[in-house]
Amino acid sequence: MLRPVVVLSLLLLAALATPASAQVSTSPGGQSGKVLFERACVSCHGADGRGAPRTTTGLDVDPPDFTDCKFTTPELNADWHGIIQHGGPLRGFSRKMPAFGDALSADEIDAVIGYLRGFCRNRAWPAGELNLPRPLVTEKAFPENEAVMTMTFEGTPLQAVSSDFVYEHRIGARTQYEIVVPVEAVRAPTPGWSRGLGDVAVAAKHTLFHDPARGAIVSAGGEVTFPTGKEYLGLGKGVMAFEPFVAYGQILARDAFLHVQAGMEFPRQRSKASREAFWRAATGWSFTEKSGTGRTWSPMVELVAARELETDAKTEWDVVPQMQVTLSRRGHIMASGGMRLPLNSRAGSNKQVIVYLLWDWFDGGLFSGW
């Protein structure tokens, strides 16, 4: 049981030793981000970054308030770079945001972004660069505002289908709560299927540490699962359980990334379920079509392990290859799909096909940004 923990610890230490690039606020030519901002941006965005009034700009929409950390910190530098270079329509925003690709070099745009980041004075908010692609199984460390529908198809021939509806809501700079509502269908021993509500779960997560310069983020959280499903029909486990966990995310070189999660599950009734330890790791990289202006693809692979805390229990290992892709121009609608494959033989283990549709609702409506 200790060997996988040691391996994951070594992976985590190796990742911490890989620093991410710091945001620059001066271009190599010597132009500071402040000077460039005042020259090209201040007429609409205001000297203080709060946005000039409509009576001054003549715009029919309010410019963003860059001092609002809740608004600015979740955004990626690459997204801001694309909007400044190609204009607002690149990411489904207003056409009133002009393109500066012919007026500013790539280094000058990066310098402007570095200056814009300084308008958020509260460093408690994790940077959007740490909001890494979401794996199918491993929990992310970054707190989010998302709605996710995940569907799992198990067995060949098909034995079970689960649809999990997940709502995530961020509270302040570092905290998130989550509600999971599963609807399940299980093939019954007699011809037909059992269908209904599974075990509803409520979770919370809090960021303990984040460092954009090193590209690292660490969170701790817990989940409570309630026995709302009808166990006698195969829907749910029929026992309340508490699951504390820690989650870690790391930016690696060349647009690669790493997630690590470890935790334990404590059932309320030991007679109905065993305590269990689990550890998970996911790694992958991201690339964007059309020189950074198209869809972003993130191939990943996860290693998932669990072991009951009982004498002679064996560790169960699964591997989950998968692919995530952004669908909307704004990147706030994403899809992912993969297959969970058992690595060691065990009774009752089946292959699973897992897919999800994700909506980052804080970035816009479901039908906006296309």
Among 87, 117, 147, the domain-final residue is: 117
Same domain, 274 and 347: yes
Of 229, 261, 268, 233, which Cα lies nearest the Cα of 247? 261
Residue-wise pLDDT for 84-103, tens only, equals: 999 999 988 888 899 999 99
DSSP state of 311: T
* The residue to which tokens 């779960």 are assigned: 201
Tell me what percent of the residues of the chain surpass a pLDDT of 70.
Answer: 91
C-alpha–C-alpha distance, residues 177 and 168, integer Å: 6
Of 310, 314, 304, 320, which Cα lies nearest the Cα of 347? 314
Helix (H, G, I), strand (E, B) or coil at 203: strand
CB neighbour class for 257 (10 Å; exposed up to 12, middle 13-18, buried from 19): buried
List the structure tokens of 39: 């020259």
Arithmetic mean of pLDDT, 272-292: 94
Same domain, 163 and 87: no
Arithmetic mean of pLDDT, 161-183: 98
27 in a structural domain: no
Of 225, 159, 166, 228, which Cα lies nearest the Cα of 196? 228
Structural domains in the chain (count): 2
Residue-wise pLDDT for 13-26, tens only, equals: 444 444 444 344 66
25 in a structural domain: no
List the structure tokens of 285: 């990289």
214 in a structural domain: yes
Amino acid symbol at 232: Y
Residue-wise pLDDT for 294-325, tens only, equals: 999 999 999 999 999 998 899 999 999 999 99
Same domain, 148 and 280: yes
Residue-wise pLDDT for 1-17, tens only, equals: 445 444 444 444 444 44
Same domain, 281 and 229: yes
24 in a structural domain: no
Same domain, 142 and 270: yes
176 in a structural domain: yes
Same domain, 94 and 206: no
List the structure tokens of 194: 């059992």
Among 100, 117, 134, the domain-final residue is: 117
Arithmetic mean of pLDDT, 326-341: 96
Same domain, 307 and 270: yes
Amino acid symbol at 292: G
Q: What residue numbers bound the domain in which 63 lies?
A: 33-117
pLDDT of 27 strictly over 80: no
Same domain, 152 and 110: no
Among 81, 98, 117, the domain-final residue is: 117
Q: What is the CATH number of the domain that holds 137?
A: 2.40.160.40
Arithmetic mean of pLDDT, 130-146: 97
Arithmetic mean of pLDDT, 141-166: 96
Residue-wise pLDDT for 243-253, tens only, equals: 999 999 999 99
Question: How many CB atoms are located within 10 Å of the residue 126 CB?
Answer: 23
Confidence at residue 22, expressed as pLDDT on a 0 to 100 scale: 38
Arithmetic mean of pLDDT, 146-161: 95
Of 247, 243, 303, 300, which Cα lies nearest the Cα of 277? 243
333 in a structural domain: yes
pLDDT of 125 strictly over 90: yes
Q: For 56, what's the count of Cα atoms within 13 Å in the CB-facing half-sphere? A: 11
Q: How confident is the model at residue 211 (pLDDT cuts 50, 70, 90)?
A: very high
